[in-house]
Amino acid sequence: MTTMAIAAKDLSKKYESGFAVSHANFEVPMGTICGFVGPNGAGKTTTIRMLLGLISPTGGTAEVLGESITHPEKYLSQVGAMIEGPAFYPALSGEENLKVLATLGGFPIERVAELIKTVGLEGRGGSKYKTYSLGMKQRLGIAAALLPQPKVLVLDEPTNGLDPEGIQEVRDLLKRLASEGTTVFVSSHLLSELELISEYIVMLRKGEVVFAGPIQDLFLMQQPFILVKTDSQSDLQKIIEIAQGDGHKATIRSDVAHIEGPAEWAGVLNRKAFEAGILLTQLSPQMPNLEETFFEMTGDLK
Amino acid sequence: MMRIVRAEWRKLRRPTLFLGTIGAALFFTGLTSSFLYLMIDSAQGNSDRGRQVSREFLQLANGSVYAFASVGGLLGIIALCVFAAQTAQEYTYGTLRNLLVRQPGRVRILFGKLIAMKLFALVMIAISAAVSVGISYFLSDRAKVNTDLWFTSAGFQEIGKTLLNVTISVIYFGIIGMVLGLLLRSPISAISIGVLWILIIENLLGAVKPVFLKWMPGNQLSLIAQGGSSEISYSHALTLGTSYVLVGAIVATVLFSRRDVAN
């Protein structure tokens, strides 16, 4: 039997105002990269905090590396985490901040210099944290999460504030860690980035898990679609009517008609639009991607 | 536990905090000790609240540490500020979550931090004691205070006793600061409420009705440093002060170990 890196069963956190996380069920296999997505306030950070023993669940259970989250001391030495962005002492240097955490966790101090280099902060490790840019702070947060040579790495928005080159570096780093056996549980708003690296997806909406499983299974659940643009809004409405007349689900998002249907139907639509005297300025069949699927499943339309 | 102490010490030893704290302690120690001798003949008094401490009194065996005992309350307030800031900043910087991920034993974290801060306070007390006794000795000649009894065995006993009392007092003040830091989760609130209460509210209440001072926590802790006073005995101050500190520490520890870390 494969031990799951993370397994949540009916995991819940209820506050006076209602459920932040409600009966969440999901599993993350060992050695995979799992994207953790959901709109703001969906309960992602609350879930992560419960997994790290920072807050207590009000219902259900969860295990990390086979150990119950009621005993975080049994697994946290093998877990690296950056939650809700980096948090360090401003008056200490980046290096000294990492040394505080290395000392606390009993990790070799020599690892600090190595990690400073890994995250691209060489030459700035001795500068005070308060002088760092957002991107540098983010890199230091990732370095801190890597201190224990973790079996499970939990990262909350690791690419915030990073430039495209930095994002690429983080993506490569996470892929490398996963190839070495580290399980990466990562939340990000950059869904296109997550799509590139994730094998698994856990999707939350209003505290409930709406999907948990391999990313390919998620896409299989979704219809391919066709994006259509016309030179006037009234024509766009006519396109919607044509699509609906043929039994296709169709909506207008911004100035684009979004029609569920296979690529082959695009030809039919083109002919019908021509017959109706509508000039199409864009007609592109699309396969579902994580962003579209996310909006579809969370009901959070663009 | 040692890992937590060493990690905390890395934060405490940073030059601005370390030198700033020692500097403040030395300033108050120097000021109090110097005034005691330089203003010995002043009609406005040479001690706190305009009290007159006579030459004859300073010639006793405990004369060498009288100034140090007097400054104990101020050293305590410095400790309160440092302990409160070091504890509450973990919430304001959001670093508490990092600490708890690396060391999930919350009570251990708390005790480790406390031990490190106690060591910091001990360094401050030792330096202040040396400076205070040094200034007292240096100025005694000018103030015509005979120091023969200071360096007898009774005098050394008094030095030891005062050091112990000031240490207890300063650490108690520090624990109160730590409790305020844990409860209020903000350095500014913890320090301002602590200092406001001890320096202003207690004194106002004492001015309105002096009997209140017998029950005020800050006054008890200052009196421990001074070895008691003519109105309030040392044992009363020690018992009541210890009770306040214990109750505060238990409440804060229970809250800290159970409370969700949501920031």
pLDDT of B263: 67
Predicted confidence pLDDT, tens digits, chain A (302 residues): 457 999 999 999 998 888 888 899 999 999 899 999 888 888 888 999 999 999 999 999 999 999 999 999 999 999 999 988 889 999 999 999 999 999 998 899 999 999 998 888 888 888 999 998 888 888 899 899 999 989 999 998 888 777 888 888 888 888 888 888 889 999 887 777 788 888 898 988 888 888 888 888 877 777 788 899 998 888 888 889 888 888 888 888 878 888 888 888 888 888 988 888 888 899 888 877 777 777 777 765 44
Name the packing angle between helices B234-258 and B153-184 (round to 10°): 30
Span B65-87, average pLDDT: 91
pLDDT of A302: 43
Q: Please give the Cα distance from A205 to A214 (Å, whole number).
A: 18
pLDDT > 80? residue B184: yes
Determine which of B13-17, B37-41, B79-83, B195-199 has the lowest per-residue pLDDT on average: B37-41
Would you call A113 an interface residue with chain B, using a CB distance cutoff of 8 Å?
A: no
pLDDT of A2: 56
How far does the CA of residue A72 sit from the closest CA of chain B (Å)?
A: 7
Cβ contacts of A53 on chain B, cutoff 8 Å: 100-101, 104
**Tokens standing for B153?**
């065995």
Q: Please give the Cα distance from B24 to A173 (Å, whole number).
A: 47
Contact yes or no for B104 and A55 at CB 8 A: no
Would you call A90 an interface residue with chain B, using a CB distance cutoff of 8 Å?
A: yes
Contact yes or no for B262 and A55 at CB 8 A: yes
**Tokens standing for A36?**
């953790």
Contact B136, B33 (CB under 8 A): yes
Would you call A144 an interface residue with chain B, using a CB distance cutoff of 8 Å?
A: yes
Cβ contacts of B262 on chain A, cutoff 8 Å: 49, 54-55
**Tokens standing for A275?**
């017959």
Residue A228, phi then psi, degrees to nearest 5: -130, 135
**Which residues are A11's β-sheet partners?**
A24
pTM of the model: 0.81
Q: Please give the Cα distance from B80 to B20 (Å, whole number).
A: 14
Confidence of residue B40 (pLDDT cuts 50, 70, 90): confident
pLDDT > 60? residue B201: yes
Q: Please give the Cα distance from A204 to B212 (Å, whole number).
A: 57
Q: Which of A53, A89, A106 sits opposite B11 (nearest CB)?
A: A89
Nearest CA in chain B to A141: B98
Q: What is the DSSP code (8-state) at residue A130?
A: G
Q: Please give the Cα distance from B167 to B134 (Å, whole number).
A: 19
**Residue of A58, A100, A132 to mutate, testing the B interface (most B Cβ within 10 Å of its Cβ):** A100
The dihedral through the CA atoms of A59, B183, B110, A140 has a sign that is positive
Q: Please give the Cα distance from B71 to B223 (Å, whole number).
A: 11
Span B22-44, average pLDDT: 88
Closest-CA residue to B201 (of B218, B185, B189, B186)? B218
Confidence of residue B19 (pLDDT cuts 50, 70, 90): very high
Between vectors from CA A170 to CA A167 and to CA A171, what angle results, nearest 5°? Answer: 85
pLDDT of A152: 94
Contact B33, B131 (CB under 8 A): yes
Q: Which is higher by pLDDT, B93 or A168?
A: B93
A38's CB contacts (< 8 A; 6+ apart) are A44, A187, A203, A204, A205, A298
A299's CB contacts (< 8 A; 6+ apart) are A205
Residue A280, phi then psi, degrees to nearest 5: -90, 130
Nearest CA in chain B to A128: B14
Contact yes or no for B93 and A83 at CB 8 A: no
Nearest CA in chain B to A78: B102
Q: Which of B16, B95, B261 sits opposite A88 (nearest CB)?
A: B95
Assembly ipTM: 0.82
Q: Please give the Cα distance from A95 to A291 (Å, whole number).
A: 37
Nearest CA in chain B to A45: B262
Residue in the block written with tokens 């911004």: A254
Residue B148, phi then psi, degrees to nearest 5: -55, -40
Cβ contacts of B97 on chain A, cutoff 8 Å: 49, 52, 54, 83-84, 87
pLDDT of A299: 66
Nearest CA in chain B to A55: B260
Contact yes or no for A90 and B105 at CB 8 A: no
Nearest CA in chain A to B7: A100
Contact B241, B172 (CB under 8 A): yes
pLDDT tens digit sequence for B112-166: 999 999 999 999 999 999 999 999 999 888 888 888 888 889 889 999 999 999 9
How far does the CA of residue B101 sit from the closest CA of chain A (Å)?
A: 6
How far does the CA of residue B107 sit from the closest CA of chain A (Å)?
A: 13
Between vectors from CA A85 to CA B263 and to CA A64, what angle results, nearest 5°? Answer: 80
Contact yes or no for B14 and A73 at CB 8 A: no
Write down the mean pLDDT value for chain B: 90
Would you call A108 an interface residue with chain B, using a CB distance cutoff of 8 Å?
A: no
pLDDT of A300: 55
Q: How many residues does chain A have?
A: 302
The dihedral through the CA atoms of A47, A53, A57, A59 has a sign that is positive
Span B14-40, average pLDDT: 90
**Tokens standing for A61?**
């259970």
